[in-house]
Amino acid sequence: MAGICLGFEVHQPFRLNPSFRPEAAKGRRDLKNHYFDPGNRAILRRVAERCYVPATGLLIDALDEGLRCSFSLSGVLVEQLEAWCPEALSLFVEAGSHRNAEVLAQTYYHSLAGFFADRDELAAQIGMHADLMAELFGRRPRVAENTEFSLDPGIAAAIRDLGFSAVYTEGADRILLGRTPNETYTCEGMPVLLRNCPLSDDIAFRFSWKGWDKQPLTAGKYAAWIAGSPGRCAHVFVDFETFGEHQPAGSGIFGFLSALPAALDRAGVACVLPSEAAAHPPAGRIEIPDPVSWADLEKDTSAWLGNHLQRSAFFALEHSPARTMRPELWRYLGTSDHFYYLASKDGSCGEVHRHFCPNGRFESYEAFMQVLSHLERRCLPRAKHSLVSLPADRAFHFSFPDGTYAGWSAHSLREFEEALDQAPAAAVDRHLARGDFARWIEGSFGERRLAREVAACETVDAVKKAVRERRCRLCAR
């Protein structure tokens, strides 16, 4: 018989302002108010009214009755609650401080920093978040998760070196290889707790699905499933917004949550906290050759980095000069949601992406690059503006000889160097022969001397060499 380790992910992003224009922020110092959507307050208030306030109130009563659970609240959510809904934050503090609750660490900005080439930013953001949790709840987290449970060996090692006792990830079939997710495993010497995907999704996605043959899902039925699940502890982790937002109050989701503690008790299912599960002797090792996450059916990074728009925006973020010069604003741009909105998936996963991205992926991409480009221009002196990322309408978009888009774009001189190696050769050769590279360099960056050098180049390697040397000179100034 398995116990249950019940956990809740609580996060809302600062969505970007789709109407941002650089001229509106000219001479202004309050850039955050210009970069982010004024509608964030209304969204936060709506979710608090439907979910955070009623669901947390129910949980506090359940904790008093013996339920045990964990919370993972992003730092950007806490900022919004402090500003726009302090009553909900007070309830979360009461719940998270309860003797039967535990809070987890995550990246403060719910970001993709774990996928940077270095792990310094990941460590910094997890440290910031742990400090915030200690301030709010009076105790530092002992167990961590990376954003959306994403994990690879490098991330596991980084979190291990920060001193945490365990890390969460998704119990994906490709890493379990037929084993149960209801045990503790290790990766890079770090205890790993695995989310039980079927049991979690029974609540998060299937609860009100009319086509599900297990309808209706009652607390008693669910407790019996937990009791019959093999292994020591089923880790059931869901978005907290499941209760009242994704699954509306009329679905009966609040009644299910209210009845769950008694149902678990009758079924003999013990409630376990993550740090207790982490202390279980490991049942074996798991190998994670490619990153795993709880996102979409693929359970990988494709929700955020699966197409060229996403990878291009991520490249610009990772290599942005704002990373060191204006980190207090740059870090908000790393929130995973900004990249989630750019997905181009079909089927049920595509429907979910589009639901959370009402502005459309191309519009979201343009807004992201517009904000990042403006921030970089505000960071750098005018003499170094050739190092900035360009907004989408001024980027270089590679195309085949027939004029169709080749799937590669360059928003900066640095990305241009990368694209010359990775874009299809037919597209690169076409642009080189037509003199397109030189015209773009002069027209978008005002680099006349570099443009002349590139125009005289007969090979792609010569173009790369000229661009690299110019970029190095600019960086050295």
Please tell me the distance from the alpha carbon of residue 322 to that of residue 28, in angstroms, as a whole number: 17
Asked if 127 and 158 count as a contact pair (C-beta separation under 8 A), the reply is: no
Q: How many Cα atoms within 13 Å fall on the side-chain side of residue 162?
A: 32
Alpha helices in 118-167 (DSSP H): 120-137, 153-161
Give which of 192, 222, 193, 220 is closest to 207, Cα–Cα.
222
Asked if 236 and 196 count as a contact pair (C-beta separation under 8 A), the reply is: yes
Please list the helix, strand and coil fractions of the chain in percent, rounded to the nearest 5, in that order.
Answer: 55, 15, 35
Active site residue 23: no
Angle at 318 between CA 315 and CA 320, to 5 degrees: 100
Residue 28, Cβ density class (10 Å: 0-12 exposed, 13-18 middle, ≥19 buried): exposed
Maximum pairwise Cα distance, the chain: 80
Residue 105 β-bridge partners: 144
Please tell me the distance from the alpha carbon of residue 75 to that of residue 81, in angstroms, as a whole number: 10
Integer-rounded Cα Rg, in Å, for the chain is 24
How many helices (H) and strands (E) are present in the chain, helices listed first?
A: 24, 10
Can you say whether the dihedral through the CA atoms of 205, 358, 292, 74 is positive or negative? negative
Helices 460-476 and 425-434 pack at an angle, to 10 degrees, of 80
In this structure, the strands spanning 190-195 and 184-187 are: antiparallel
Residue 233, Cβ density class (10 Å: 0-12 exposed, 13-18 middle, ≥19 buried): buried
Please tell me the distance from the alpha carbon of residue 415 to that of residue 467, in angstroms, as a whole number: 11
Asked if 23 and 251 count as a contact pair (C-beta separation under 8 A), the reply is: no
| Residue 302 phi, psi dihedral angles, 5° rounding | -65, -20
Cβ contacts of residue 157 below 8 Å, gap of 6+? 188, 189, 190
| Residue 190 phi, psi dihedral angles, 5° rounding | -110, 130
In this structure, the strands spanning 166-170 and 190-195 are: parallel
Catalytic option among 102, 145, 148, 415: 148
Name the residues annotated as catalytic. 148
